[in-house]
Structure 1
């Protein structure tokens, strides 16, 4: 594990509030296993049962589902720092509804569920914090997925965009904020075609509703935006 990957490890949500030296010490008792996946290598398949989650140390993973006609659909991209498979490993007997594939050469750190949940004499206090962090990660994903369901139920792409931006405004309390990720990530999250999303955002800019640069947005007219929220 190089220093950049170690920094990702120390700063990820699963180890939040745990000192870097303690994180390093915990890897042994957690039976953590680092593995390299070359580009386009399958990490796990649809139907697989997981007993460990994967922390992305470097690279990118993509989750894909398959529709009735056999077409692969991108569900999510997971970049460095993301915890993948945590919800699934914590659900006994559940099988993966998606393929997870390395979009580029990637380094993953696998953390077995039973080792996270079982304490140890050496660092049981830190294990308690680790378990709390895991519950927080799963809870945040639940609420994020619930919110995404509300976006996808919107009548139009514009309404989905407006809802997403308005929610971020409420969360940050600022008219200027970064959504993080790429335009493609936002399109995937809102269930939209990237080109269609870019066209709609450009129209909203022309109408004086917002301005943007890469992943940073600035709401120019909160009144106009809230009208689109509905």
Structure 2
């Protein structure tokens, strides 16, 4: 691993409170393994085997694919973020959904055997920190899913877009912001047809509620009042 990747891990939520100089030994205890990928499948729920992944470079997506071939985007990952943690912590008999992690272009992943966090392979102090941090990660992911459910509960494509854009403005603390999704990813995330979404965006722009260029959006000053 490179020094920049170790610095990234030191800032990762999973390793919060663990001194950077202790990370190499801890990673060894977790049987860490680095792999490189390019646009392929990283992890299937049914095959995860207790592993969790930390994205080191590039972008990845968490997707659910239905038997019909329909695809739902659940989340986009940036370097330093985890995936597979819910499956790694689930009970052995849990019914796992058909969810997978996919590389969105070239990326590098660090795989960890999180089951070893409670074994003699990891010192007790670091073990407690890992478990506490993992609970925080799972709670954050649950809140993220709840926010997405709020968008999906809206009845129309227009309402879903307005809900999502209002949330992004709140998160950025500004009426001007960039979203982490391209048009197809946004349509998948909101479970709408891309053509219908593009038409709805055009109407919102014509009404003066929003302006946009690619993934950059600007909301009108009276955006909230006009909803």
TM over 0.5: yes
1:75 and 2:73 correspond: yes
In structure 1, the residue matched to 2:49 is: 50
Gap regions ≥5 residues in structure 2: none
Report the TM-score, using the length of structure 1 for normalisation: 0.79
Is the CA contact 1:11–1:81 (under 8 Å) kept in the aligned structure 2? yes
Structure 1, unmatched stretches of 5+, are none
Q: Does 1:91 align with 2:95?
A: no
1 CA distance for matches of 2:212 and 2:172? 16
Quote the Cα distance in structure 2 between the aligned partners of 1:162 and 1:191: 14
Instruction: Provide the rounded CA distance (Å) in 2 between the counterparts of 1:179 and 1:85.
Output: 24
Counterpart Cα distance in 1 of 2:198 and 2:57: 28
RMSD across aligned C-alpha pairs, in angstroms? 2.9
Give 4+ residue runs of structure 1 displaced > 6 Å after superposition. none
Q: CA separation in 1, counterparts of 2:120 and 2:181?
A: 35
Q: Is the 8 A contact 1:48 1:96 kept in 2?
A: no
Distance 1:17 1:151, change over 3 A: same
Instruction: Answer yes or no: is the 8 Å Cα contact 1:168–1:177 preserved in 2.
Output: yes
Residues 1:175 and 1:43: Cα distance change in structure 2 (over 3 Å): closer
TM-score normalised by the chain length of structure 2: 0.79
Equivalenced residues, count: 224
SS of 1:31's partner is coil
Change in 2 beyond 3 A, CA 1:34/1:177: same
| Structure 2 CA distance for partners of 1:167 and 1:64, relative to 1, 3 Å | closer
8 Å CA contact 2:55–2:77 kept in 1: the answer is: yes
Asked if the contact 1:210/1:218 (under 8 Å) is kept, the reply is yes
Change (3 A) 1:213 1:19: farther
